[in-house]
Structure 1
């Protein structure tokens, strides 16, 4: 299964064309909770055709602030009403002193942060009565690190007993920016916890820096990393194509979806004889 984010930018065209035919759609619950009128109708139209996966933006897992239980109540109701298959969030923080920062900021790779976040994830899962898939985010500078990114992520997954959203592009971006091998990184993750995959385009702004934009087509090295990941997983993990702006013709997005589905099918049917890197 390969899906697409259901974005208001192209919702009307998407619902009235056959140019783009994903296997599922994804939304951020907080962008749709309590919505009415035209947009509620369009979401309902989409849900009549496609299963729903969700990816939150506002829980601020790493924040020192208390969890927002009003938000969680709304999320729980939304997930139930829409029959959402997965609820995922970012391993980052976006709120401090009750001020929303409108960005996904990195969390210090520290032992105290692991304990803090694991406890919050356990609380969230208990409240929602479902597992949470947490995403490894892109970042551009480590903050007060006591351990490696890999050690930090694996410790949180172990202590919280949550699922993993594996964003293949983020791993590629982080590997490039912080000079590590993304293939080796993926090999050392608990792949049995991968419940969901994201993949997107990025913008290389210099010889030493890539910015994770979700505004460009997927590049070949990220496709190759996805191919490697699927070959390691050997199971049909739902994959989302992310495109947040610079939206091309819907047929171009379908072309990316088709390539991802072909890679996945080759891996799952054991027709892949070599990994291109």
Structure 2
């Protein structure tokens, strides 16, 4: 059975997490439109989980979001892993693959998404690695803006750095709206100004998630809570600027009743509809 491509029309998705498998399999048509998969968590998986992946992939288009490519890392890119990812994407007819604009490994895995310095040297370095990755994958790559809590060096601001990487690598942007909000609070910039300065033709999808309020001036990106009102408002701003791009509701742990996730997906649909009407 052939699997449809992820539509660029307004659509909503959830991450394919093992803790949600039964709910995702039992969900009626219309609760969500696509599923996002971290390929490194599913390549070569067999047994009951592998069967569940195959069954869900026949019912829903898949989008892939990587966790371990380490685009900005010092170690050479893992070309063998990229070849495995390409086979996985081709097998499941996955059109869109994204990774983080960060690094997560050196000689070994660091188990965190660490920030890049916002420097011209880093722009050239990571853009070259993105181009190399796209050549191996045989498709365009989207990079995601990440949350960060310490800045190693900033010769330019985050949005200037991001735009420079997108242009030099000629790649796309997966816009994480919650990360924009978290970084804006933690580092003292205007999140709406950040959105206004992103090149609109690069945005091909969005993420939205909950975060933890450590204090008024410190927010922690957790993916373990409901989306905050301020982030919903920023998502509406993003739709107004970039159109109602396919949007994933990220929830990685502390799962609520599935109906609560569906209610958040319905909020996304409502905001997308309003964005289409404004457009």
Give distance in 2, aligned partners of 1:249 and 1:19. Answer: 18
In 1, Cα distance between the equivalents of 2:277 and 2:160?
A: 33
In 2, Cα distance between equivalents of 1:160 and 1:13: 39
Contact 1:20 1:254 survives alignment (8 Å) = no
TM-superposed CA distance for 1:19, in Å, is 9.4
- Secondary structure of the 2:19 match is coil
1:135 corresponds to 2:152: no
Separation in structure 1 between the aligned mates of residue 175 and residue 23 of structure 2, nearest angstrom: 29
Is 1:5 paired with 2:15? yes
- SS of the residue corresponding to residue 63 of structure 2 reads strand
Aligned Cα root-mean-square deviation (Å): 1.2
| 2:5 matched residue in structure 1 | none
Q: Which residue of 2 aligns with 1:110?
A: 119
CA distance in 1, matches of 2:187, 2:89: 36
- The match for 2:7 is none
Aligned to 1:15: 25
Cα distance per residue 1:124-152 (max 9 Å; x no partner): 11111100000000001111222111111
Question: Aligned equivalents of 1:129 and 1:65: distance in 2?
Answer: 22
8 Å contact from structure 1 (residues 2, 239) kept in 2: yes
- Aligned to 2:18, the other structure's residue is in SS state coil
Question: Any unmatched runs of 5+ in structure 1?
Answer: 272-277
Question: After superposition, what is the alpha-carbon deviation per residue over 1:67-106, rounded to whole angstroms, capped at 9, x for unaligned?
Answer: 001110110000000111210000010001x210010000
Preserved CA contact (<8 Å) 1:20 1:253: no
CA contact (8 A) 1:63 1:94 kept: yes
- CA distance, structure 2, for counterparts of residue 13 and residue 258 of structure 1: 17
* d(CA) in 2 for partners of 1:3, 1:17: 12
The answer to whether the 8 Å contact 1:14/1:20 transfers is no
Please name the residue that 1:42 is paired with.
52
Q: Could you tell me the TM-score, scaled by structure 2's length? A: 0.94
The aligned counterpart of 2:40 is 30
Alignment partner, residue 216 of structure 2 = 207
Q: Aligned equivalents of 1:12 and 1:250: distance in 2?
A: 10
For 2:278 and 2:196, the matched residues in 1 are separated by 19
| In 2, Cα distance between equivalents of 1:77 and 1:8 | 22
Determine if the alignment matches structure 1 residue 240 to structure 2 residue 225.
no
Q: Which residue of 1 aligns with 2:131?
A: 122
C-alpha distance in structure 2 between counterparts of 1:17 and 1:117, whole Å = 40
What is the CA-CA distance between 1:191 and the residue it aligns to? 1.3
